[in-house]
Every structure is written in structure tokens, then in C-alpha cells.
Chain A
């Protein structure tokens, strides 16, 4: 499909409200999912919770192959399939769910039903898409995008490096987990195929020659930048969370709660106390307070509390 046609389809889809049966697909939680995929999935879940869009988390062994871009997670909304955080943010922006009524901006933890009630009460109603970054000015938005790129380029790449390029981690954790749903000899073929693919990507971006120490150093620098930007604020842009908060939370929380061959990676983050409390805050605000049926708590993972 051409880009124009795709844009058209997503515009059409935008006319429909967020359905009850929206689902997020990710690999099997216990045996299969890897650090990087888990982080990306958690970032999307956090983002959707911040937008107050309910989503059912479905674990599938073939989630990676079901995804249109070959990357997890992806969401299935109506008959639309959208993968990865960036496109999902764009997609929810186009979705018409939020209402602005006479009683002011109804944002935050209001259920859809209450939105509809507002609409029914006959107050001045117009529709608006879901967006967390609408309150930002252009400079802030550019800054947010820059920090999101930093997280994707540093944290995500470091996670991939440690998973696939550090031979101890690859042999003990990554390959057995990645290939767990497949029978012999397919499990070995697929794991090595994936490893080769990631390593090729690493050499394309110049990470192949890096040592593990250098990667830890990069992670540390990235965390320092994030920590400085966050400062003593509640979220990166003051009181309102944005997609940057969701992304940072997804990665940091996953790194902190995942057992790897060494604890060095999580130790790098633990040295920044404001980042730790930032993770606790989001976990508390979005994954514990809002317990509702249909929402998936982080019960499987150890809490930071």
C-alpha cells in the first residue's frame, strides 16, 4: 500500500472510537520475551494507560512475525494493526475519543462512558484526539523528540547489544528464551538467524567494535542526561506525562526488574535516585492505582515499591 493510501486508511479509522476489545500483542511473558521487547511493550502499555485507553495484553509466541513491521509490540484496534511506540502515538492522536465539554477539558482518568455522558448532557461538545504532548510548545516538543531519540539510540541499542552481542548473555539467556517456542532444529536456526541480523545491524551503526564496558558507559551517560533533564520534576515536562515518560519508564523499569547475567546494567541506573523515584511514581500512578478488569497489572514483575 502506498503511503498516501495508508494515511487515508488511518484517517478513516480515526473516525471510529477506541473499541473495548483493543489488544496489545507481545511475546510470551514467562519464557520468551527479551529485555528489549519487554521494554518496548511496557513503554506502549504505559503510554496507553497515560492516555486512558484500555487495552488487553495478549501473549503470542509468534507476535514478532504477526507484527506488520516485524517488531513488537503491536496493537490491534478495530481492524487496524499498528506497531511500535512512534506509530502508535500517531495513531492515538488521530483517534477521536476525547471530548471537550462545557465543564472544561476532560482529560485524565475519566472513563469513556463518562465522556459519553458529558456528550449526552448536551454541553458544547467537540472532539479531539488523544495526545499527551499537545500542551507542549514547539521547543518542548522538539526537545521531547530529541530525548526519545536518545533513549532509542542509546538504551534500546545497548539492550540489543547486551542481549545478542555479549556471548555469555546470548548463550545463557537470549538464545534459549528467543527460541523456546520452536522445536529442534528450528530453535537453533531461528536464534542464530536473529543474532546474525542484530549483529549486522550493530556493525552498520558502528557498535560492533564496542566492548561491554563502553556500552555500560554509554548507558550511564544516557541516564545522566535523562536524570539532569528530569531534575526534581514529577515528569519530564512538569506535571503532565508525555510519550517520553512512557518510553523512559518502559526501558528503565524493565532493566531494573530483569535478571541478567550481571547486575551491572541495573546498577548504572540505580545510581540516579531521581530516575528510580520517577519509575516508582509511574508504576504507582498508572499500574497500581488504576486497577480495572481488562487492564494488565505488572503483577508478574517484581514491583519497585
Chain B
């Protein structure tokens, strides 16, 4: 006790780590170890048991695949690393709200001296989660109600339902997702949906009711998607003044298409990436599995990002694609105008995506290309650095592109020449705001060049929001 007194008189420990400890406790802690403690860091260990606590409806066979690697660990560092990986895998399944890992020495009768028990303490997501959003965009305000049933059958299946009630249109979608056991990247997704959109630049209203089945799987470093889609499309005119070319396209059609997409994505983020590249190629064949729309569609997208000085990023992208009608019927406007749809509200690229009928409705093109060069830099003088300010970027851009119709008699060389002639291009600068990891908002000043007769020009200040950008 003498020593204790001596220590308590010492003024220095006042700043020490064991400030809150009662002197008696400090003594106990000091007195106990020595005999049992071992340094396990470099020694071989055996993971004897892995527990998962907190399971409710989740089936254990699903988790067996995800945590199997933990048993392979040979030393403590390895155990920690593998456990961490297993935790990431469990979280990725999207069925747990929280996963905590506890590593302890093995206990019980058959416990080995170098045996370890790993315990994952998980908290499952609720059976039913709901969400409520309001959205404004596309000349319409809407209310989106979402219901999600994660882990509905206990093997990471997911059922989601979204219902959007707008001032003009109502849309809904039901989707079922099922991953393969042990290979989360290999999954099947079935969608049922009804989507209605109004496209004022075409005076067109489109209602799609469809079913899509998707099979996703990775091969080496690429991700593939095989998809069958059956869509009943209803086109109508938005106004009495719609051009007759659009009016002629009104009515019902059925598209049944098989498509394949391959993606290589090494970017660090989908929105405003700092490094990495993206390559996406998509082909769609419609008409051989039924329906009355038949065409072959090819698309590609390349994006390269390179980090330069002072946190600035140079990003270059190129898109291109074409649609070849199969048979005598020309491709419907619903298939052609896709070029515009992918980039719906992005004002800066509007100028080259417009091609007009006599009275000025956008009819879409059969072949297109578009390229963009962006330089993203942090805001000048970096206000709000390390926090809110990092969501913003200034950017300088140069975009170019063209689209044309293919008249199949002329051969590919003539078409390439046509795409190279009269290129629409624009340049400008603006501010980009990143919204989460899915969308971005832009405020730009844009100067269009090489505008063709009939193009709708959006020069000056523009505001845009979107998910996919050049």
C-alpha cells in the first residue's frame, strides 16, 4: 500500500492515461497478467469456431460461403485481415445493418492452446423498409414511395417496389433480385415496370410497360449483363401542334429484345472520379423473339480520367452508337431517340443531339457520336476545404458530336464522312455539385459552335442535373 500512496502523491499521473482509474483497480490490473499473456502475432493460430450472433431469418448456408475464408487464416494478422474481408462481404449482401467482429481465444473442452474463436455480431435489417421522396424534374413534380423487403427468403433476395405519383404521370416498378450463393456478383434480377415520360422536345409522350430479366456475371475483370426485355410501348402526341412526323409514330408497339452489355470499370467513383477508366459496350437485338420492333443497336462508352497537379482531374470521354433497322420498317422514334434520352437534361450537350422535323420536333438519329474533354479543379481559393467545399468542382469543358440518319445504299465510308461533317461543338465553364455517389448538378456557361440549321441552341447559362454525363 505504501507504493500506492507514493504514486498518488506523484503529480505526474494526473495527465496520464489511467486518470479515471481508482488506485485499487490500477493495482489489480497490474497484478494479474504476466503468466497467461502470450504474444500471438507471429505464432500459428487455428480458427476453431466462427459464431454469427444475431441471426433471425437469414439462412446459415448463405453465410457459410461468405465467412469460409476466415478458417484458412494461419496467424493472427491473417485472422484479422480475413475477418475484416468477411465483414465487408457480409455488409455487401445488403441484409445487415451492422456487423461487428470479436476475436477471442478458444474456450471449451476441446480448445487448443493456439485456438481462436471469431464472433460476428450482426444486426439484420428490418423485414420491410420504406422510403418517401419528392422529385422535381422533366417539367414535372412527383412523389416517390418505395417499399423494400431485404432478405425476403433469407438468402439475400431482395424485393423492391417503387411508386411514383407525379403531377402529370404515374409510374411504378417492381423488382426481384437474387444472387447466387457464395457469388454475390452472379445474380438474377427480374423487373416489372410501367414508366411514363413526356419529351417536350419531341412533342412526344411515351408509356412503357415491360418486363425485363437480367443475368449479371463477372468474367475476369469484366462485368457482363445478359438481358431479355419485353416492352409494350405506347406513343402519343403531347399537343395538337405536334409535327406530323411524330404523329405518324403514335400508337402501340411491342419490343422484345435480347441484349448484352460488357463493362470494365476501374474508376474510384461513378460521379466525378479522380482516376481510372470506364469502358462499356452494349448491343441489343430486337425482333427475333417476338414483337414488331426489329433492329440491331450498338453502343459504346469510353471514359478516361487522369489526375493532374493541385487535385485537378482531366477527364476524356467518347460515346458512339448506331441503330440498324432489320427488315423494311424504319426504326421507331422510341428506339431512335434513345440518344437524347441518356443525356436528357444535360444542357451542355444539348446542341448536337438535336435533329428536327419540319416543325421542329426532335426525331432522333440513327448513328451518333459524342466526345467530351473536361478539366475538373477544386473551387478557387478552396472554401470549405475538407468538408462541404469538396462536393463542388469547377470544370472547363469542350464537347463535340454529331448524329445522322443512315441511308443504307451509301456504304459505311459515306456514313463516316457524314458523321465527320458539320460537327456540332461547344465549350464553356461551370460549377459541378456532387450529390451522393449517384448524381450531379451543374451550372454552366456554354458557348455552342458549329450549330446546324434546325438545331435547338442552348447557349448562355444553363442548369442541369443527371446521372450519366459525357
Contacts and interface: CB of A to CB of B under 8 A. Distances in A.
Contacts of B252: 62, 65, 182, 186, 190
Contacts of A48: none
Contacts of B232: 186, 189
Interface string B232-247: 1011110111001001
Contact of A1 (B236, B241, B248): B241
Given A66-B251, A183-B292, 12 more contacts: A61-B251, A62-B250, A65-B234, A65-B251, A66-B247, A182-B292, A183-B254, A183-B290, A186-B232, A186-B252, A186-B253, A186-B254
B359 interface: yes
B233 to A, nearest CB: 10
A190 B235 CA distance: 14
Contacts of B253: 186
Interface in A187-201: 189-190
Interface residues of A, number: 19
B291 interface: yes
A293 B167 CA distance: 50
B254 A182 contact: yes
Contacts of B247: 66, 81
User: Sorted from nearest, which 9 A-B pairs have the closest CB atoms?
Assistant: A62-B251, A65-B251, A65-B250, A186-B254, A183-B292, A66-B250, A66-B247, A68-B240, A183-B254
Contacts of A62: 248, 250-252
A66 to B, nearest CB: 5
Interface of A: 1, 6, 9, 60-62, 64-66, 68, 76, 79, 81, 182-184, 186, 189-190
Contacts of A183: 254, 290-292
Contacts of A9: 241
B240 A184 contact: no
Contact of B239 (A1, A65, A79, A189): A1
Contact of A81 (B244, B254, B291, B292): B244
Interface in B191-240: 232, 234-237, 239-240
Contacts of B241: 1, 9
A184 B292 CA distance: 9
B85 to A, nearest CB: 48
A27 to B, nearest CB: 11
Contacts of B234: 65
A279 B241 CA distance: 37
B290 A1 contact: no
A183 to B, nearest CB: 5
A109 B125 CA distance: 81
Contact of A184 (B235, B250, B290): B290
B332 to A, nearest CB: 11
16 contacts: A1-B239, A1-B241, A60-B248, A62-B251, A64-B251, A65-B250, A65-B251, A66-B248, A68-B237, A76-B244, A79-B244, A182-B254, A183-B290, A186-B252, A186-B254, A190-B252
A79 B359 contact: yes
Contacts of A79: 244, 359
A206 B56 CA distance: 58
Nearest to A190: B252
